[in-house]
Amino acid sequence: MAKKSYRDAIREAIASEMRRDSRVIVMGEDNAGGAGSPGEKDAWGGVLGVTKGLQPEFGADRVLDTPITESAFIGAAAGAAATGLRPIAELMFVDFMGVCFDQIFNQAAKFRYMFGGKAVTPLVIRTMYGAGFRAASQHSQCLYPLFTHIPGLKVVLPSSPYEAKGLMIQSIRDDDPVIFFEHKLMYDDTADVPDESYTIPFGEANITREGKDATIVAFGRMVNFSNQVADELRRDGVGVTVIDPRTTSPLDTETILDSVAETGRLVVVDEAHPRCSMAADIARLVAEEAFSDLKAPIKTVTAPHTPVPFSPSLEDIYIPTPAKIRDAVLAVTRGRAQ
Amino acid sequence: MSEIQPIVMPKWGLAMEEGALTSWLVQGGAEIEKGQEIAEIETSKLANVFESPASGNLRRLVAREGDVLPVGALLAVLAPATVSDADIDTFVASFVVEAPADAGGAGGPAERKLERDGRTLAYKAAGLENSATPVVLIHGFGGDSDNWLFNIDELAKSRPVYAVDLPGHGKSTKTLSTGDLSELSRAVADLVDEIGAQKFHLVGHSLGAAVALQILRDWPERVASIVGIAPAGLGERINAQFIDGFIAAEKRKDIKATLQLLVGDPELVSAQMIEGVQRYKRLEAAKEALRAIADKNLPSGRQTANFRDLVAEGRTPILILWGARDAILDPEAARGLPSTVKVVLFDDAGHMPHLEAASKANEAMARHLEAADALSQPGR
């Protein structure tokens, strides 16, 4: 088993599913690069190189470069899925998703429901999210709460290369539309990733650290930050459980509630804005279902309710950090009875 | 000063860099025996009791409960009563943590692969600089070569050690042709041919012990000795609920509950152990492999292979280690064997005595292997 990057793990998942199932196709802007020009093909392989190498192996019939019209090709992908293919459409930055909300929210998400369960839409939309790339307000958002809000969509946030491969294969094999969020700062993270295929089921949270004093629920890149904090605090005698829900829809509420029942203290870490976010959602869940288990008020660590700043120093303050997570855990565990 | 012996943070596996001393199980000043449980230590991968590597008077507990310390850091000091407190103070003050020594100079177990007929057999190798008869470690149902984490370096101090991933397990090819004992034992035979061992010892845990006994039946002249740890193949009975539960369990909670059946102390099952099993079971064809092995070897929840007669023949030295609290295979099955078969029972251990009572198990195995070597080379 080799160490592989997040980028390579995603590519390996797509390539192995394309070999296994000829209905799997890839489409998006510059997924190969060079379409319509006499120059080099596969020059790009996607804006950050995730799909590089796919077109030489699978051909231009299955790896399609599309025009810069998200509304058209996301609509085409939804239609292709409804009629028997299993498309993986790349919508470069989630920030651009707004132009095709109708295709996603009103069409793809509704087909199964509105056709009485007789239609399936095995569509995967890959998209990049997250701040820290110095790419300013229109290329840095964490819009997964918007998609989580819509019934009929599944929303996936892999937090490591191992998770990325198994969740991508599960996404491709799933019969519902899946929005697959890739954090652009994680592409070069490496970890042990098996060469063999494997799937990680949706709606089953991972517990990445175990401790008895507090529970952190964190998403995507924030899982790593939270693990760091849990490791640091263990040295100081504070035991922290870290839960990575993996998918925000479906959401594994049982694992969260079980853990809060044990620790009595909750911190939710979400890189999205605080309003109508996963942080708000999970705080609501625990306040409603497990209020009597709580020994301290729930804390959330999120980005502020502002656009992502372009100024690097402001962007650094904007993103939740391990130090902020640590402060939140210490705030909820202060004065705890042993 | 040479009478003063340091007890240091152990290195449990290649990845371990530091450990947390969760609690001391002994008081300062106590007389302790080698192999006695003296502390609980937790790493990012596992939690286990730490057994003293030496006997003596525990003059000083240096590490405090809750301390997180690097591998090799001083935990405690053993010294006879004749050594003065001042000398111990000097020893503690001048103690230098050595960079973790790779066991036996072999650089720890190396991961290797053997390709045959388009199939991969993965194994670990250690102690290759030694010339004694090699030993092959064979894990049980659903396990892999990492199950020997606490044994491989110890055994590799005096002989070459190979720990195999059986077909369908670990990093070996998952698809099986039948899943019967002869397929599994042929894979181990391929490995001993690959390493060019004319004679070899076999240490098998649970199902792995049945594999070892199958090899003894097929190639009796090549097997120098056998250690069966909680061995299968000595009777019909097995906890079929565990087998079915292990195959069926998908959710973390269910896997945890199943794994807790394996050990006497359920606290030994760490988050990382659960994650490891979950990762293995997610791999394509892994579940099918487990099902096939269970169907072939345990149809209707009873063991088919029975090696009692072979074990009773007594031509090959056989040692059996078993935990008294084993909830998978009842140690009763070791009763009624002839006295040529040595049986060691560990009171507090469950189905994994090589993990739960590692240093005692290691010592028993090392003594058995040496004695068997002496038998086969009477001239030495």
Cβ count near B377 (within 10 Å)? 12
Distance between CA atoms of residues A214 and A193, nearest Å = 30
Q: Identify the residue among B145, B274, B283 best suited for mutation to test binding to A, counting A beta carbons within 10 A and taking the highest.
A: B283
Measured between alpha carbons, how far is residue B257 from residues A93, A206, A209, B249, B267 in Å? Answer: 42, 16, 18, 9, 11
Distance from the Cα of B171 to chain A's closest Cα (Å) equals 7
Distance from the Cα of A198 to chain B's closest Cα (Å) equals 5
**CATH, residue A71:** 3.40.50.970
Average pLDDT over residues A299-307: 98
Question: What letter would DSSP give residue A250?
Answer: S
What residues of B are in contact with residue A209 (Cβ under 8 Å)? 271
Q: Which amino acid is at A270?
A: D
Q: Which of A146, A164, A193 is the last residue of a domain?
A: A193
Cβ count near A119 (within 10 Å)? 15
Measured between alpha carbons, how far is residue B226 from residues A114, B114, B220 in Å? Answer: 66, 23, 11
Q: Number of Cβ pairs closer than 8 Å across A and B?
A: 35
- Residue A224 maps to a domain: yes
- Residue A56 maps to a domain: yes
Q: Supply the range of the domain harboring residue A287.
A: 206-333
Residue B217: its pLDDT value, please?
Answer: 96
Measured between alpha carbons, how far is residue B366 from residues B106, B187, B226, B373, B378 in Å? Answer: 18, 25, 12, 11, 18
Average pLDDT over residues A129-139: 95
Q: Is the dihedral of CA A260, A263, A267, A268 positive or negative?
A: negative
Residue B19: its pLDDT value, please?
Answer: 87
- Is A182 found in the same domain as A227? no
Distance from the Cα of A76 to chain B's closest Cα (Å) equals 32
Task: Tell me the residue length of chain B.
Answer: 380
DSSP notation for B244-265: HHHHH--SHHHHHHHHHTTSSS
- Residue A200 maps to a domain: no
Q: Identify the residue among A17, A170, A192, A196 best suited for mutation to test binding to B, counting B beta carbons within 10 A and taking the highest.
A: A196
Distance from the Cα of B281 to chain A's closest Cα (Å) equals 9
- Residue A133 maps to a domain: yes
- Tokens read off for A286: 């625990």
Strand, helix or coil for residue A221 = helix
**CATH, residue A265:** 3.40.50.920
**b/e B213-233 (16+ beta carbons within 10 angstroms → b):** bbbbbeeeeebbbbbbbbbbb
Asked casually if ipTM beats, i.e. exceeds, 0.85, the reply is yes
Residue B344: its pLDDT value, please?
Answer: 97
Number of helices (H), then strands (E), in chain B: 11, 16
Residue A240: its pLDDT value, please?
Answer: 97
Cβ count near B105 (within 10 Å)? 10
- Tokens read off for B287: 């579940």
What residues of B are in contact with residue A206 (Cβ under 8 Å)? 252, 275
A→B contacts (Cβ < 8 Å), by residue, are 1, 162, 166, 194, 196-201, 204, 206-210, 231, 234-235, 237, 255
CATH 2.40.50.100 fits B5-101, yes or no: yes
- Is A247 found in the same domain as A174? no
| Residue written as token pair 């090392």 | B366
- Picking from A73, A65, A78, the residue whose alpha carbon sits closest to that of residue A32 is A65
Q: What is the pLDDT of residues B71-103, one digit of tens each?
A: 889 999 999 989 999 999 999 988 888 765 444
- Per-residue confidence of chain B (380 residues) as pLDDT tens digits? 468 889 999 887 766 788 888 889 998 889 998 888 899 888 766 778 888 888 899 999 999 888 888 888 999 999 998 999 999 999 998 888 876 544 434 356 889 999 988 899 999 999 999 999 999 999 999 999 999 999 999 999 999 999 999 999 999 999 999 999 999 999 999 999 999 999 999 999 999 999 999 999 999 999 999 999 999 999 999 999 999 999 999 999 899 999 999 999 998 888 888 989 999 999 999 999 999 999 999 998 999 999 999 999 989 999 999 999 999 999 999 999 999 999 999 999 999 999 999 989 999 999 999 999 998 765 44
Measured between alpha carbons, how far is residue B49 from residues B24, B25, B284, B366 in Å? Answer: 10, 9, 35, 21
Asked whether the beta carbons of A87 and A66 are under 8 A apart, the reply is no
Using DSSP bridges, classify how beta strands A190-193 and A2-5 pair: parallel, antiparallel or unpaired.
Answer: antiparallel
Residue A92: its pLDDT value, please?
Answer: 94
Q: A97 — phi, psi (to 5°)?
A: -65, -25
Lowest mean pLDDT among A173-177, A269-273, B19-23, B294-298: B19-23
Cβ count near A247 (within 10 Å)? 27
Of A1, A197, A199, the CB nearest to B171: A1
Contact: A199, B282; criterion CB under 8 Å:
yes
Host H or E run for residue B47 = strand B47-51
Domain with CATH 3.40.50.1820 in chain B: 104-376
Burial of B18 (0-12, 13-18, 19+ CB in 10 A): middle
Residue A298: its pLDDT value, please?
Answer: 98
Asked whether the beta carbons of B105 and B134 are under 8 A apart, the reply is no
Distance between CA atoms of residues A17 and A181, nearest Å = 19
**What is the percentage of chain A residues whose pLDDT exceeds 90?**
92
3-state secondary structure A151-198: CCCEEECCCCHHHHHHHHHHHHHCCCCEEEEEECCCCCCEEEECCCCE
- Is A41 found in the same domain as A121? yes
Query: Residue A129's beta-bridge partner residues?
Result: A183
Tally the domains of chain A.
2
Measured between alpha carbons, how far is residue B378 from residues A202, B371, B372 in Å? Answer: 62, 11, 10
- Picking from A234, A96, A116, A207, the residue whose alpha carbon sits closest to that of residue B256 is A207
pTM to 2 decimals?
0.86
Distance from the Cα of A208 to chain B's closest Cα (Å) equals 8
- Tokens read off for A159: 């937090």
Residue B2: its pLDDT value, please?
Answer: 63
- Is A211 found in the same domain as A188? no
- Cα nearest neighbour of B250 on chain A: A201
Quick check: A338 pLDDT over 50? no
Residue B378: its pLDDT value, please?
Answer: 56
Distance between CA atoms of residues B109 and B112, nearest Å = 9
Residue B106: its pLDDT value, please?
Answer: 39
| Chain B, window 38-97: residues with a beta carbon less than 8 angstroms from a chain A beta carbon | 44, 66, 68
- Residue A198 maps to a domain: no
- Is A211 found in the same domain as A173? no
Quick check: A217 pLDDT over 90? yes
Residue A325: its pLDDT value, please?
Answer: 98
Quick check: A177 pLDDT over 70? yes
Residue A336: pLDDT band (50, 70, 90) is confident
> What are the residues whose beta carbons fall under 8 Å from the beta carbon of A34, sequence distance 6 or more?
A40, A41, A42, A43, A44, A65
- Cα nearest neighbour of B274 on chain A: A207
What residues of A are in contact with residue B174 (Cβ under 8 Å)? 196
Q: Which amino acid is at A46?
A: G
Asked whether the beta carbons of A84 and A121 are under 8 A apart, the reply is no
Give the CATH architecture of domain B104-376: 3-Layer(aba) Sandwich (3.40)
> What are the residues whose beta carbons fall under 8 Å from the beta carbon of A125, sequence distance 6 or more?
A74, A77, A89, A90, A91, A104, A177, A178, A179, A180
- Is A184 found in the same domain as A218? no
Contact: A234, B68; criterion CB under 8 Å:
yes
Burial of A313 (0-12, 13-18, 19+ CB in 10 A): exposed
Average pLDDT over residues A283-298: 98
Contact: A201, B20; criterion CB under 8 Å:
no
- Is A161 found in the same domain as A40? yes
Q: What is the pLDDT of residues A61-116, one digit of tens each?
A: 999 999 999 999 999 999 999 999 999 999 999 999 999 999 999 999 999 999 99
- Is A152 found in the same domain as A129? yes
- Residue A189 maps to a domain: yes
Q: Is A305 a catalytic residue?
A: no
Measured between alpha carbons, how far is residue A3 from residues A8, A162, A190, A191, A242 in Å? Answer: 10, 10, 6, 5, 23
Residue A236: pLDDT band (50, 70, 90) is confident
> What are the residues whose beta carbons fall under 8 Å from the beta carbon of B322, sequence distance 6 or more?
B229, B230, B231, B329, B331, B334, B343, B344, B345, B346, B353
- Is A85 found in the same domain as A12? yes
Q: What is the pLDDT of residues A34-64, one digit of tens each?
A: 777 777 888 788 888 999 999 999 999 999 9
Domain with CATH 2.40.50.100 in chain B: 5-101
Residue A38: its pLDDT value, please?
Answer: 79
Contact: B282, A231; criterion CB under 8 Å:
no
- Tokens read off for A85: 């293919």
